[in-house]
Amino acid sequence: MLRKNNIEFFFVFLITFGYIFFYSFAVPFNIPNHYFIVPFRIIIFSTALYIIYKNFENIKKRRSTIFFICLFWLLYLFKTYYSFSHYTFVTRTKNLESEIYIRIICLNMIPFLALVSINFSKEMVEKLTNVIFNFLLIMLGCSFLYVILETHIFSRSSGIFVSYYINTGHYGLSLIILSVFYYFLSPSKKIKPILGAGLGLFTLLISSARSPMLAGAVLVIIMFFYINKLKYWLLLAAFILVFIISIYYLRYSTLSTEYIVRIYDAIFEGNAYGRSYYLSKGWEIFESNPLFGGPTLFKDTMYPHNIFVEVLMSMGIAGFIVLGLYFKDLAKFRLRYIKENIYYLPYFLFFVQYLVLVQTSYCIFANIEFWCFSAVIISIILFCYDEEIKSYDSRGNTTGDH
């Protein structure tokens, strides 16, 4: 019989990275993806309900966090319903109405409540990180072989995955993060981390996505702030200068690729490939409806490509305040939580990675990775915070008894 801890472990693995297993069959076998994605959604939703039921005591302890998570998603659900009832959309967008409701409740709110109810113990996270690292090695290794031997597509390529190429690029960055993590964690075991870094970099490059590159740069800058030594800052400045010069000359050389062109356009021409238009359009809607916002989507299904502007556009200042309360527990974070358990580190890096992604891509209900890792780090912070309070209380009670 399955134990609750094993079900929680399986659920967290599945919703953080295991889901890409379900995304890896449709492309190579030319099978409609709904044969795989529907069972995945059923598994996620039903498992989440079970975990919420079993962890109801934890739900009550974390009731303020749970309340604001529910409030945010229910407000967004109501505004989505109101939008479809009072605004005009093209037929393609109207046909997505039921699916959007399902995604908001079954793939976002309920699973994230389940994640926040879980105690992310040191033992669980250490085991989970190791499983994820090996899983990504295998999956991206298979994708590498598929691209090399079968498709030969090296631009905007998703490999074996049905995911959008931007997502695939972030799979690569996630493997790079874990590879670097294990490289420094176990210096004597370098083969797998080096292999992982290579597979991750290959996946990132063939995706031709700029978002993973930007996220990687942000993570490096955060690391340099933590180290905070002049020689490293000088090294970083020199690397950036060489990188920019190299992109400029490669753009007009025979070695130019679509990826180089896209990076060149971003750096030298400020070309966001239409994102600036959607960003401005979303801001205009917010200015017209500042308190509660306007429609949750544009009439053609597009969106502002920035989570903060999209929240303002769709839910106004009220929604933005609720979003801030959604993340109120981040204020409880202390660096010592990571120092005491280094295996927490990758999940905070994943959160930053996908926080960067939602500044340029995806709408609120579609960016499950960002909300998923938000829930994971909130739960980690609450677990560490509660354990710290228990420790203080225990020492205080011991002193009082004497």
pLDDT tens digit sequence for 150-196: 999 988 899 999 988 999 999 999 999 999 999 999 877 899 999 99
Cα 93 to chain centroid, rounded: 25
Determine the pLDDT at residue 255: 78
Other C-beta atoms within 10 Å of 188: how many? 4
Looking at per-residue pLDDT, the higher value among 227 and 292 belongs to: 292
Average pLDDT over residues 307-318: 96
Give me the torsion for CA of 47, 52, 57, 60, rounded to 10°: 160
Determine the pLDDT at residue 402: 32
Average pLDDT over residues 347-375: 94
Determine the pLDDT at residue 163: 87
C-alpha to C-alpha distance for 272 and 14, rounded to whole angstroms? 33
If pLDDT is split at 50, 70 and 90, which confidence band does 355 have? very high
Determine the pLDDT at residue 398: 47
Lowest-pLDDT choice from 80-94, 237-251, 302-316, 325-339:
237-251
Which of the 8 DSSP states describes residue 244? H
> What distances in angstroms separate CA 216 from CA 126, 133, 219, 271, 353, one per listed residue?
23, 18, 5, 20, 7
| Contact status, residue 367 vs residue 191, Cβ threshold 8 Å | no
Amino acid at 282: G
Whether the pLDDT of residue 338 is over 90: the answer is yes
* Sign of the C-alpha dihedral computed for residues 128, 73, 305 and 241 taken in this order: negative
Whether the pLDDT of residue 122 is over 50: the answer is yes
Determine the pLDDT at residue 380: 97
- Summary mean pLDDT of the chain: 91
- Please measure the distance between the N-terminal and C-terminal CA atoms of the chain and give it in whole angstroms: 45
Determine the pLDDT at residue 2: 62
If pLDDT is split at 50, 70 and 90, which confidence band does 1 have? very low
Whether the pLDDT of residue 128 is over 80: the answer is yes
Determine the pLDDT at residue 401: 41
Percent of the chain with pLDDT over 70: 96
> What distances in angstroms separate CA 369 from CA 20, 42, 195, 228, 347, one per listed residue?
11, 18, 24, 30, 11
C-alpha to C-alpha distance for 122 and 344, rounded to whole angstroms? 8
Determine the pLDDT at residue 186: 84
Average pLDDT over residues 55-77: 96
Looking at per-residue pLDDT, the higher value among 251 and 175 belongs to: 175
**Residue 142, helix vs strand vs coil:** helix
| Contact status, residue 118 vs residue 377, Cβ threshold 8 Å | no
> What distances in angstroms separate CA 88 from CA 92, 252, 301, one per listed residue?
12, 45, 11
* Sign of the C-alpha dihedral computed for residues 102, 103, 104 and 108 taken in this order: positive
**Residue 295, helix vs strand vs coil:** coil
Average pLDDT over residues 368-382: 96
Determine the pLDDT at residue 399: 44
